[in-house]
Chains A and B, each alone.
Chain A
């Protein structure tokens, strides 16, 4: 700071009317007034205060900013010397002028020595104003100088503190980098004391590899790059290299480089961290470069930031320039949807993600330049850029091969679907949960349910008959476990409630990974076949039954026949015995016998021969009827006349032992019957009735012919038939216990039964032992006009 006294003075002259503050130490009011008058006379706007004691003086010093102190030399309670001491302690530069009545040379010298600025006599006050003016001026000069000194000193102090306390190493070099001055941080940063470095060259401590760097030359060049930091490795005293970041300040004097100030900072830690970061970034970059997926990074404005090698490989581009790549991407390629429609550029995953902030995944798109169509699966993800804005990472892979393969598979699948749907056999499928997921046209036709109606429904619940549910569930489970089922007959419900049978083969259905995902059933509608088979089986069973019955009948018949033969032979033996004995008798005693006796024997022989003839006829009749040889031979007869004739015959043959009571009610006189069979029936029944009612005199014959039925009833009042015998009387040769000596062939009722049955009629017995027997015959009649001869 430069002080210019002249200017200050001028300013002072001009500011004469400025107030001037003067503190006056004076015990005499008159003297005080005198001094004041003297100064005001000079034109000053005076502001004064008078004090008489040390206390007053000290208080006044503090209260006001005084320009000058004027003091009497000696006061009753105070003196100039004490006042001066007080003043100088606090205000070394406050002008202090002693005004005394008397003063010796010695006191004046002493006062000056103590710091008084001037010494005047009261009778010489003319000097006062110039002295005041001078002292004020001097005091201001000193004050200003002091302030400048202080400011400089403070500034110097601040720089010193700065240089000594800053972490950075501040050094002063000569132009050849020799250390001239070294900051205190050197101990900490370089391990050298400052004095150790002085005289060494900075460049000598730099890592040889880093010396090649351009910035290092700044030490030697008259650099233009002042202020730009650069980093390099520097050898510490212990030999370890540390990273320094240094700023250089070149100091010129007269156009000549004279000094270089360097400020260096230890950035080893940062540098290592940076290296680590660089390394990891390099790794990351390596990963990005080496992965097979194409990657493109977009910034928030949709411009490409970077892309990897796979991206250019997949997109068949050779450029490595981001700008060119972006240009190619927007101009060279055309994009397609899987349907081969043009892919709207606004819907590109990168743009969608950029717009919405949401990721897009698995977008399939075709990309075509002049060459082949490339199919890509594209994902895009938003990411936070270092500027806190959202950018987009787009990753994509070439799925052209898969796409082509998939297209082929799709075509095959479509073909298969068509095949399933149109196959001329019922085909249906279920998923892992048993729900229908396949239902072809034939199945729909057979069941009456359309595909849309059944999809998702449970096959077992909806279509399988209760009795088969468990079995079919097992079967489907087996198929789901990978076991094929063949030729299973599956009855299923149709819409109409009818059951159709499907001959069913079930095979597991697998996905591309060969995992079983369901069952596919291929069938054949065998309902008709089943029905046919069932009919056939039924027929076979029927036939078998018939055959068994026939066989049984045949067996019975054989047994019956053999029994019949044995019984018939037995029946023949008795009359034969009588005949033999009778003839033997005649032969043996013919000489002794009279004619009458011989006649009697011959009659007996004839009678037995006659009986045998009846027997033979009956046997033959039975035999014929049993071998089915008797054919109905209907003729039209007058039933009443016919009956009467039979009654006459029977009455005659039984020697009129009984009267036959006859009643007849008939719609028609003439009916069509088998005359021989009817005759057999009536003769046998009437003869039996008479034979088995010995001692009685009548039997009854009732005939009713109406409603197409011929009802005949023969009744006697004879011995009757035991309950247990009533069923057996129709068996050949069965003779009841009560038959006793009553003659008969034993075939009569057998013949009646056969004769009735041949005419589709029926026989009924109603008998009570001791009371009599009633036998009812019913024969359906045919119209006499229908009979054919």
Chain B
């Protein structure tokens, strides 16, 4: 085994810095994470089973009992529910991003990356982009399952696709929260549980699974200002799944009156805030 540096190829370093390097480095890291996903297919499969179970359980267990605008017709609940399940699914991808980054820290890969002359945010951007790809696949499968159990949209395809884009934007925003959690905890296990627990109140104190009408007034306010609710309401509107008997807003909260634009604003705000926090944290990351 002989390793001399003399015969190393003469390397012309590419021009560095700027947006192009950032994009390129992010794509290199995204590719790495996507390759990993194909090597650990069970992660992708488990990521699919959970939302599918939610679709089936909610549809058939709660479907006939939950009153949507005064009617317990299961078909109404199916249409009401799906935007909520989709939104919950994209936010649960957060935990994956957190656990992945915590695992990289733990194994010393973050040290390796940080010692390389690469763009500052690329490790995290690459990770969140790969998660976005995974979330998209999950949503496609989930939408298929939803159609099988009887979910129907009542708007043109363009609007329906915009509904999915709104959901993916929320998922992407949340993966930056996951990234920050992953960088802040000591072990991948902590990132998984820490990445999940706060999602339960966040997704349940919302309009996702039941109309907020039945909640105590205080929770109604929380639910209607919840960024998650805005996306659910926005997607419902774009899918044509709004229910005539369910008021847009109970408390008169602005995001509920304008759910689509509110959803975009919330998601962009989350990305801006949590991306800069996460990149800052990354730059000083130590195990």
Q: Do A and B bind each other?
A: no
